Amino acid sequence: MFEEIWKEFQREISEEQAFSLSLLMAFSWHYGEWQDDFGLDIGSGAMVSQGSLIESIKGIQGYDVREAFSRLSERINWQMVEQEAVQRLLKKMIDCFVWYGKKGEDPREVFALILDLMGRDGKCVLTPPGVRRVIVELLGPRKAKHLASSCCGGAGLGLELWDYLRLRNPEISFCGEEQSRELCDVANLYSYAYGVSAGEIVERDVLTIPEERERQRYDMIVMDVPRGRNVTELCQSTDPRLYGFTKRNIYADWIFIQDALYRLSEHGSAAVIVTPGSLIRRNEVSLREQIVVNDWLEAVITFPNNLYPKDHTGRELLIFNKAKKRKGKTIFLDISGYCQRTGRNVHSLTEEGIKLVKKVFDSAEQIPGVSAVCGREEIGENAFSLKPLQYIRRTGEKEIQSGITLEEIAQIVRGSQLLKKSDIKENGAAFFINIKDIQNARLEFGQADRIQRTSSVCKAKFRISKDDILLTSKGAVLKAAIVEANPPEAYISGNITMIRVDQRKYDPYVLFEFLISEQGQIALERIQSGTTIRIISNASLQTLKVPNYDLARMKQIGGQLRRNQERYYREITEATTRFQKERGRLLDELEELT
């Protein structure tokens, strides 16, 4: 019913205006319900106006709430609201709210619906309901006196958790923090609707270095890191949250994570939602090492893609606990397959997925393809990657008993990204290899771009040689090829990674066969970042473990693999030639019949 009114509203006024006005109307109704009266005098043809709305809540206790209501009302173009069509819709909205009241609907659900309608169009980013439920299920049973919701938006996530926690501790305080003044005002109204008495909503930018006097200790913190703000920031040596971090730059998501840990009490817990890059990015490896060594990381959970409207990027949930019971252990969980479609390019978590998270989190059960429990040493061996897929074993997957890392046996080079359009020449003397030129595990030069030798990409380190293994370092599908004997002069693009094996330590054909095997593909998938476009970094490849064989026997088998492949391609060429020759002969005979 309300959604129909919302759609009609959008034909008369802007979405932002419809949002603010609907929220104020809902709050006026909510406050009036408490007073056994709607609050608005709508009889005798009276109009809904800024004055009538403010008058409807004049008896409310709480200066911050009244100020928030007033500021939101000032964002509305009241001349537009006076139009007959808008007034008609406002009265339909009032009837809708009265009907909700008679049905016994919780006013908080109406607030949530208005926020959800705004979020569906990507105008404000809300934590999806299923993700909120997971966090409440995991943190709700714990004790807390002071709860903070950082980057709170409309405060839906934090308030749901607060509502659950107060069952055990009615005196629990709530603090919502948000950079946007408008969203602070929205959160103020929402927290009032929830009945928060001991709490506040403050305007705060997490990226600003906090002063010591601002540091408060919370028993629990929840945070959905704003994706649009995840940019590279200059690292400030004076920032106490980044103590021991020596890099010049830092991605903002790790400032948000460190902010939560910095303000968490010595026995506190936190839930932080981030994008996948946070878990594996090499720049912040020392910070990941800190939290693993300090034993603060309790669980990492991979969610499905497309949970957020108009945002296909996946999300990961980090659960921190500074006093966790399972010492030295971290749970890794992947529920990316537990989703259902709820709209165009929008998914939601299934009930089964939510229950599975709770079950595994409580029991620390290791389920093939779903979960793993790892110690600090194993995480350290994987360059402190926090990506669940890197630790979760698939059903039937073989574990490498004796392994060696790729950086121990090969040189890894990412291709050049400096090619200019002017460098591409039809009669160029060299080839420039890109993703499209790897077909069926073989390099195909027929459609490859040609470039002049004077191009800046024509450097020795980018030039391919016999036995080099080429991997696509970026793209939707992972491709691989091994360079055959006597290749033409060719250089690799930035979308290609070249693995040049030290043949004194390993055989290139054995390595190639491992990389294209099912086990190798799983290993490569584990170290990829990104969702739609998968990326493999050099740093991730360096830590990739491959089987460690007896060198003499490996070289013998590698030589046989090489000869087998050469014979296969030679026979394909000969068979193709025979086919084309015979086809031509038969077509000539057919031509003679006419």
This prediction's pTM:
0.82
Domain residue spans in the chain?
A: 2-120, 129-164+174-181+207-390, 404-548, 550-594
Hey, CA dihedral for 394, 396, 401, 406, is it positive or negative? negative
Instruction: Report whether 130 contacts 354 (CB < 8 A).
Output: yes
Beta strands in 169-248 (DSSP E): 173-178, 199-203, 218-224, 232-234
Compute the CA torsion angle 499, 503, 509, 511 (nearest 10 deg). -60
Query: Residue 146: beta bridge partners?
Result: 173
Model confidence at 75: pLDDT above 70: yes
Strands 480-482 vs 469-472: parallel, antiparallel or unpaired: antiparallel
Q: Where are the strands (E) in 344-475, listed by range? A: 346-349, 371-375, 403-405, 410-414, 430-433, 438-439, 442-443, 449-451, 469-472, 474-475
pLDDT in tens, 249-266: 999 999 999 999 999 999
- pLDDT, residue 280, reads 87
Of 156, 135, 159, nearest to 147 (Cα)? 159
How confident is the model over 458-480, as a mean pLDDT?
A: 89
Query: Taking all residues of the chain, what is their mean pLDDT, rounded to a whole number?
Result: 89
DSSP assignment, residue 476? S
Q: How many residues does the chain have?
A: 594
**Per-residue model confidence as pLDDT tens digits over 312-323:** 888 999 999 999
H/E stretch holding 342 reads strand 339-343
The pLDDT value given to residue 126: 87
The 10s digit of each residue's pLDDT in 206-247 is: 999 988 766 778 999 999 998 776 788 888 888 999 988 989
Q: Which amino acid is at 184?
A: C
Whether the CB-CB separation of 545 and 403 falls below 8 Å is answered with yes
Residue 68 has pLDDT above 60, yes or no: yes
pLDDT at 591 over 60: yes
Q: What percent of the chain has pLDDT over 70?
A: 95
Written as one string, the DSSP assignment of 39-97 is S----TTPPP-HHHHHHHTTT-S-HHHHHHHHHHHHTS-HHHHTSHHHHHHHHHHHHHH
Rounded CA-CA distance 479/441 in Å is: 7
Q: Is the pLDDT of residue 121 over 80?
A: no
pLDDT one-digit tens code per residue, 328-357: 999 999 999 999 998 888 899 999 999 999
Decide: residue 113, CB within 10 A, 0-12 exposed, 13-18 middle, 19+ buried: middle
Q: What is the CA radius of gyration of the chain?
A: 30
Question: What's the pLDDT tens digit per position in 23-33?
Answer: 998 888 877 65
Rank 114-128, 352-366, 375-389 by mean pLDDT and report only the highest.
352-366
Mean pLDDT on 43-53: 73
Classify domain 129-164+174-181+207-390 at the CATH class level. Answer: alpha beta
Distance, in Å, from the CA atom of 400 to the CA atom of 362, rounded to the nearest integer, reads 29
Outline where DSSP puts E strands in 421-508: 430-433, 438-439, 442-443, 449-451, 469-472, 474-475, 480-482, 490-492, 496-501
State yes or no: pLDDT of 309 exceeds 70: yes
Give pLDDT, residue 232. Answer: 86
pLDDT top residue among 252 and 3: 252
Superfamily the domain 404-548 falls into: DNA methylase specificity domains (3.90.220.20)
Select from 181, 233, 237, 175 the least CA-distant residue to 207: 233
pLDDT per residue as tens digits for the range 503-514: 999 999 999 999
| Residue 5 · residue 92 · CB < 8 Å | yes
Task: Lowest mean pLDDT of 42-46, 271-275, 542-546, name the range.
Answer: 42-46
CB 371 within 8 A of CB 333: yes
Give the pLDDT confidence score for residue 35 in this predicted structure: 45
Structure tokens at 82: 């006076």
Return the sign of the alpha-carbon dihedral for residues 264, 266, 268, 270: positive
Q: What is the pLDDT of residue 37?
A: 47
Does residue 533 carry a pLDDT above 70?
no
- Of the pLDDT bands very low, low, confident and very high (cuts 50, 70, 90), residue 34 is very low
Task: Specify the residue for token string 């391609």.
Answer: 569
Residues 556-575 pLDDT 10s: 999 999 999 999 999 999 99
277 neighbors 315 (Cβ within 8 angstroms): no
Of the pLDDT bands very low, low, confident and very high (cuts 50, 70, 90), residue 403 is confident
For tokens 């990027």, the residue is 313
Residue 43: the pLDDT is 44
Q: DSSP states of 285-312 as a string?
A: HHHHHHHHHTT-EEEEEEPPS--BTTB-
Distance CA(325)–CA(141), nearest Å, equals 14
Residue range 494-509: mean pLDDT, rounded: 96
Residue 531 has pLDDT above 80, yes or no: no
Q: Sorting pLDDT into bands at 50, 70 and 90, what band is 97?
A: confident
Instruction: Answer positive or negative: Cα dihedral of 160, 165, 168, 173.
Output: negative
Percent over 90 (pLDDT), the chain: 58
Name which of 273, 164, 254, 175 is nearest 218 in CA terms: 175
Per-residue confidence (pLDDT) for residue 263, from 0 to 100 = 94
**CA separation for the pair 215, 223 (Å, rounded):** 17
Query: CA 252, CA 361: separation in Å to the nearest integer?
Result: 28
Question: 437 pLDDT band (50/70/90 cuts)?
Answer: very high
- pLDDT, residue 463, reads 96
C-alpha to C-alpha distances, 589 to 298, 424, 575, 582, 593, nearest whole angstrom: 76, 44, 21, 11, 7
Highest mean predicted confidence (pLDDT) among 97-101, 294-298, 422-426: 294-298
Q: Cβ(520)–Cβ(480) under 8 Å?
A: no
Segment 62-67 mean pLDDT: 88
Q: Count of H helices and E strands in the chain?
A: 20, 26
Residue with tokens 């999300």: 315
Distance of CA 528 to the CA centre of its chain: 13
C-alpha pair distances (Å), 228 with each of 45, 231, 251, 314: 45, 8, 12, 14
Strand partners, 424: 451
